[in-house]
Amino acid sequence: MKLLRLAFAGAFAFAALAGSAFAAADDDYLTIQLKDGPVVIELLPEIAPKSVERLKELAKNGEYDNVAFHRVIEGFMAQTGDVQYGDMNEGFKPEQAGTGGSSLPDLPAEFSNTPFERGTVGMARSQDPNSANSQFFIMFADGGFLNGQYTVVGKVVAGMEYVDKIKRGDGANGEVTDPDRMVKVTVGRK
């Protein structure tokens, strides 16, 4: 009986440790609720620690909630994350969406050998490689021409079918009239 109790206690301790390991791993995911369903992104802190931390910080503070997909180009990508001008509830300025960031400083480039493929999530930036802030994009298709030029922060692991339904922009720059939005963004797999 004593051996059985020890085995049970050991199994319980192992389950508790495994649960905490899963909780820590869960912290390296973002869930974006879109109008059609949830999109789960596995973050890659081992290749872009500063950028990943920024995405998590903004998500935890609710700053990505209701932010527009202001630039969406068929066969290329959907861009969002302008917390300054992209909030569909307050402060949305279609003519300025995509030109803002957050109140936090810009980030240094964290380029890697990770390729831009369908479902890859990258940090948007201006011409300056060290200008990424809060905006990011999700690839609809492979984009090898971006490799080594933009910071890869993650990849979609569930819900790509919902990303595919994001309203496309019109015109060469992909600006979207009456854009879709990120309803809610949370850290973890929700």
Q: Indicate whether 13 belongs to any domain.
A: no
What is each CA distance from 10 to 1, 22, 72, 122, 174, in whole angstroms? 14, 18, 52, 43, 57
Whole-number pLDDT of residue 118 = 98
Q: Domain holding 62: CATH number?
A: 2.40.100.10
Q: Indicate whether 179 belongs to any domain.
A: yes
Whole-number pLDDT of residue 170 = 87
Chunked in runs of 10, what are the mean pLDDT values of the chain (190 residues)?
41 43 70 98 98 98 96 96 84 75 95 98 96 98 97 98 96 88 94
Whole-number pLDDT of residue 28 = 96
Q: Indicate whether 2 belongs to any domain.
A: no
Whole-number pLDDT of residue 25 = 63
Cα 139 from Cα 123, distance rounded (Å): 11
Strand partners, 148: none
Q: Indicate whether 71 belongs to any domain.
A: yes
Q: Indicate whether 36 belongs to any domain.
A: yes
pTM of the predicted model as reported, rounded to 2 decimal places:
0.85
What is each CA distance from 73 to 69, 140, 170, 174, 178, in whole angstroms? 10, 9, 8, 5, 15
Q: Indicate whether 147 belongs to any domain.
A: yes
- Tell me which DSSP letter residue 132 carries: B
Q: List the Cα angle 177/190/57 in 5-degree steps.
A: 70
Q: Indicate whether 117 belongs to any domain.
A: yes
Q: How many domains does the chain have?
A: 1
Owning domain of residue 72: 29-187
CA 92 from centroid of its chain's CA atoms: 20
Backbone phi and psi for residue 20, each to the nearest 5 degrees, phi listed first: -70, -35
Both tokens assigned to 130: 């060290």
Cα 81 from Cα 61, distance rounded (Å): 13
Whole-number pLDDT of residue 95 = 72
Picking from 164, 173, 136, 131, the residue whose alpha carbon sits closest to that of residue 152 is 136
Q: Indicate whether 111 belongs to any domain.
A: yes
Cα 34 from Cα 21, distance rounded (Å): 28
